[in-house]
Amino acid sequence: MKKMKKVGIFCFVIVASLLFSCKGEDEKSASLINPEDDAAVQEMLDMEREKKQTLSESDLRVIEAFKTDKTTVTALDIDSKDTSFTARLKKLYVNDKNERLAAVFGLKRPGQMGLVIVQKEGGEAVTIPQTGEGESSYTFSKGQNSLVDNGEQITVKINGKTEKYRLIK
């Protein structure tokens, strides 16, 4: 019985000393925090929040454009059995009159020509084969229909009528 009391007291002393020593470490750590460091960290966090907010506004514009898209063309309109296509993607564009156009690109390896399917909202889809490529541009052309893609801006001619569109981003 006495042995149990001694073991109990010994355990109590060990636990109490651990508790008090941890408390002292917390107080030491708290006293080492520099308010200037805390302000710098807060400033960095604020900058990251602003950066994410800017990116998300752009993302929201693109998401909204695709949600309200009234065109019917999709990347699935390009033959899935043709394995020579390396990329199939749909981009949405808008012109100065706020008219939208969808372009589905079927791109192949450099030197091989792909195609594009373009459709204005409310219009018919038109498939145009690729006829050229530059360092930062693609050209698609057939008869009275053509498209020149310069990255964020395209020039489209459908049935002889030419219009410029900019990428919704």
Which neighbouring-strand residues pair with 127? 117
Between CA 73 and CA 119 the distance in angstroms is: 7
Q: Would you tell me how many other CB atoms lie within 10 Å of the CB of residue 105?
A: 22
Residues 17-32 as b or e (16 or more Cβ within 10 Å = b):
eeeeeeeeeeeeeeee
> Model-level pTM?
0.66
Kindly report, residue by residue over 23-58, the tens digit of the pLDDT. 454 455 555 556 667 777 788 778 777 766 666 788
Query: Tens digit of pLDDT for each residue in 84-100?
Result: 999 999 999 999 999 99
Domain ranges for the chain = 75-167
pLDDT of 168 above 60: yes
